[in-house]
Structure 1
Amino acid sequence: MKTLLATLLLILPTLMLAADPVKHVKSEEAAKIIADGKTAVVDVRTPDEFKDGHIKGAKNIDIMSKDFEAQVAKLDKTQPTLVHCQAGGRSTRALKTFEKLGFTHVIHLDDGFGGWAAAGKPVEK
């Protein structure tokens, strides 16, 4: 019994990580992923934040809008999709919607647009 418990305690963290359908990245890796041209970028900040600067090609879907889920539902669920906000909080909440809607390849920019800009990555206005 002790051996079984010890084994479970060793493999449980691995199983939990494997169950997470979201890939978490920082700005450097996100830039490489976006460069392939195959990844959709969804910015969940407000339209005013988006106008002040955003990642080139990003689609702005404000997580605070009443139709956020409906707008996300219109996206291609099979296309790799990078999701971000300013610092990672709102986009972390948004991940639940992407998972609920059945997106198969979601990437989260953990350091958000703030981290992207601070890393000197290109910003479009």
Structure 2
Amino acid sequence: MYRRTALAILVCTLALGLPGRGADPKSVSPQPLNVDPAAAEKLIREGKVTVIDVRTKDEFDEGHIAGAKNIDIKNADFEKQLSTLDKSKSYLVHCQAGGRSKASMKIFEKLGFHSIYHLNDGIMGWEEAGKPLQK
């Protein structure tokens, strides 16, 4: 009876993908957290994130979140630029409406970032919520 219970626990653990003893927790990349403009503003205000705007320079210059760093996902060296960032810090990533920033999540994860927030609906959602832009 004990052996069947132990086997059942082991099978469930493996099926759920839970790390076992000896697993390296840093090897498991967490999923980015999706946040709305109010939650994003709070993270920024509390100094918990660096904002990464993955839009083009022209889009960025039209208006951006104060303090944001512009790293254009369309640039050939996008991955190289991301690799220079401190992977132990937290980042809030956005684009115009959410498509490009969602695509960038795979690159952040590939490079080993562990604390990424994704701004739902991008800068458009930010503006619709009445949040300020800097020009």
CA RMSD of aligned residues (A): 1.8
User: Deviation above 6 Å: which 4+ runs of structure 1?
Assistant: none
Q: Distance in 2 between matches of 1:80 and 1:34?
A: 10
Identity %, equivalent residues: 54
Deviations 1:74-120 (A, max 9, x none): 11111110000000000000000100000010000011000001111
1:25 maps to which of 22, 35, 42: 35
The TM-score with structure 1 as length reference comes to: 0.83
The TM-score with structure 2 as length reference comes to: 0.77
| 1:78 paired residue number | 88
Deviations 1:41-74 (A, max 9, x none): 0000000000000000000000000000000011
Q: Distance in 1 between matches of 2:80 and 2:46?
A: 27
Q: Which amino acid letter does the alignment assign opposite residue 60 of structure 2? A: F
| 1:41 paired residue number | 51
Larger Rg: 2
Q: Which amino acid letter does the alignment assign opposite residue 49 of structure 2? A: T
Deviation of 1:20 (Å): 4.5
Aligned residues between the structures: 112
1:107 maps to which of 104, 108, 117: 117
The DSSP-based 3-state class of the residue aligned with 2:133 is coil
Q: Which moved more, 1:93-102 or 1:32-41?
A: 32-41
